[in-house]
Amino acid sequence: MPLLIDDASSQSCSLPEAIEALADLGFDPYDEGSTLEAAAWLKRLTNNREFLSRLLIDRLAGRVGGGSGMALESGYGPQAIVLSGLRGSMFLRANIWPAEQDLCFQTSGAANFVYGVPHDHNFSFLTSGYCGPGYRSDYFEYDYEEVVGYPGEPAGLRFIERSALHEGKLMLYRAHVDVHSQLPPEALSVSLNVMHVDPAQAWFDQYGFDLERGEISRVLSPNATEAFLRVAVANATDEALDYAEWVGAHHPSERLRLASYEARAALGDEAEQDALWRESEASGSRMVAAIATRRRAAITG
C-alpha cells in the first residue's frame, strides 16, 4: 500500500508558501529525504484549515484568486482543483470526494469520481486527508516489471488492507507499485496532493484491474502520440505507412508499436491482417505478440 508518513507537526503555512517551498525543493519521490521534506510542507498546508475555503469562496464570488493571489483551475474531472501551475517537476491539487448521500454523487454516478475503478498510477504523488473522514480504499501491490500489459493478463495482485484517508494522514503513492480501489467516504471529504511530473511517464502505462479475476482489464493512461499515429496511418500515405512500419519494428514503447500494427491492420483484408499479425508475433515485444496471437485467432475463427 502507499507508504505512511508520520508527521505530528502542528505548524501551518499559506498556499503560496507551500508552492514556493516545494518548487525550490524539486520534489523527487525516489529520494527519501526529498519525499520527507515535501511531505512536511504538505502537512503544514494541511494544517491550514482556512486556505481552501477562502479560495473557493473567492472563486464563487467572482474574486478569482482573492486575497491569496492564487487562481483556481479545474482538471482531472469534476472533483479536482488544480492549486498551482507546474513548478519544476511538481504541482499541487485538491480532490473533492463526495459521499453516496451527496447530490453530486447521485446525479453523476460513482465512476465520475473514480469509485470502484481499481487502478495503479504511472506517476508518484503525496497525499493528505484535508477534511472529512476520507475516501476508503482496498489496497493492493503488484510487480509492474512482471506484467506485459494486455487485457486479461494475470496481474499478481497482493491484497494489503482496507483503510481511509482521514484528516491529517500522509501517504506516498508509488508509481507502478500501489493499486487501489476507492470507495466513497462516509461524509464529504477533501484530500490534498503534491503531484510529481516526469516527462517519461506518458510512455509507461497506467492500468485498470479486474479484482475478481486478478487481471489487467485495460490501459487507462492516454497518449496523444498514439492517436496522431492512427490518424496519419488512416490516410494511408506512403510516408505515414513507412513511419508506422518503423514504429512497429523499433519504437521503445510497446503500446505505440501495437498501435502501429492495429492501424495498419485496419487498412487490409483478412489475409493481409493475418499476415501483419503473424509478423508482429515475431516483433520482439511480449505485449504485441500476446495480442497478435489473439487477433489471428479471431480472424481464423
Cell of residue 76, nine digits = 482531472
Q: How many CB atoms lie within 10 A of CB 171?
A: 22
Q: Do residue 138 and residue 21 come from a single domain? A: yes
Q: Do residue 208 and residue 253 come from a single domain? A: no
pLDDT at 64: 62
Q: Which residues pair with 122 in a beta bridge?
A: none
**Distance separating alpha carbons of residues 73 and 80, to the nearest angstrom:** 9
pLDDT at 201: 81
pLDDT at 20: 95
pLDDT at 14: 96
- Last residue of one domain, picked from the residues 219, 237, 261: 219
pTM metric for this prediction: 0.87
Average the pLDDT over each of 68-82, 100-114, 277-291 and give the range with the smallest value: 68-82
CA angle 90, 94, 95 (to 5 degrees): 125
CATH of the domain at 128: 2.60.120.10
pLDDT at 76: 55
Q: Which residues pair with 136 in a beta bridge?
A: 164, 183
Q: Do residue 191 and residue 240 come from a single domain? A: no
Going from the C-alpha of 43 to that of each of 82, 93, 166, 171, 251, the distances in angstroms are 18, 14, 13, 11, 42
The pLDDT of 12-27, averaged and rounded, is: 95
pLDDT for 120-164, tens place per residue? 999 999 999 999 999 999 999 999 999 999 999 999 999 999 999
Percent of the chain at pLDDT > 90 equals 74
pLDDT band at 112 (very low <50, low <70, confident <90, very high): confident
Q: Do residue 130 and residue 279 come from a single domain? A: no
- Last residue of one domain, picked from the residues 196, 219, 242: 219
Q: Do residue 270 and residue 292 come from a single domain? A: yes
pLDDT at 69: 47
Average per-residue pLDDT in the chain? Answer: 91
- Last residue of one domain, picked from the residues 180, 204, 219: 219
Q: Do residue 126 and residue 108 come from a single domain? A: yes
Range of the domain at 228: 224-300
pLDDT for 35-79, tens place per residue? 999 999 999 999 999 999 999 888 888 776 544 445 555 555 568
Residues composing the chain:
301
pLDDT at 93: 95
Interacting residues of 16 by C-beta distance below 8 A, sequence separation 6+: 68, 69, 70
Q: Do residue 215 and residue 283 come from a single domain? A: no
pLDDT for 270-281, tens place per residue? 999 999 999 999
Q: Do residue 134 and residue 194 come from a single domain? A: yes
Q: Do residue 127 and residue 234 come from a single domain? A: no
DSSP labels for the chain? -PEE----------HHHHHHHHHHHT--TTSHHHHHHHHHHHHHHHH-SSHHHHHHHHHHTT-TTGGGT---EEETTTTEEE-S--BTTEEEEEEEE--TTSHHHHHH-GGGGTBT--B--SS-EEEEEEESS--EEEEEE--GGG----TT-B---EEEEEEE--BT-EEEEPTTTEEEEEE--SS-EEEEEEEE--GGGGGS--EEEETTTTEEEEE----HHHHHHHHHHHTT-HHHHHHHHHHHHH-S-HHHHHHHHHHHHTTS-HHHHHHHHHHHHTSS-HHHHHHHHHHHHHHH-
pLDDT for 193-239, tens place per residue? 999 998 888 788 999 999 999 999 998 887 788 999 999 999 999 99
**Distance separating alpha carbons of residues 10 and 256, to the nearest angstrom:** 48
Q: Do residue 132 and residue 100 come from a single domain? A: yes
pLDDT at 259: 93
pLDDT for 166-190, tens place per residue? 999 999 999 999 999 999 999 999 9
Q: Do residue 128 and residue 12 come from a single domain? A: yes
Question: How many structural domains are present in the chain?
Answer: 2
Q: Do residue 255 and residue 154 come from a single domain? A: no
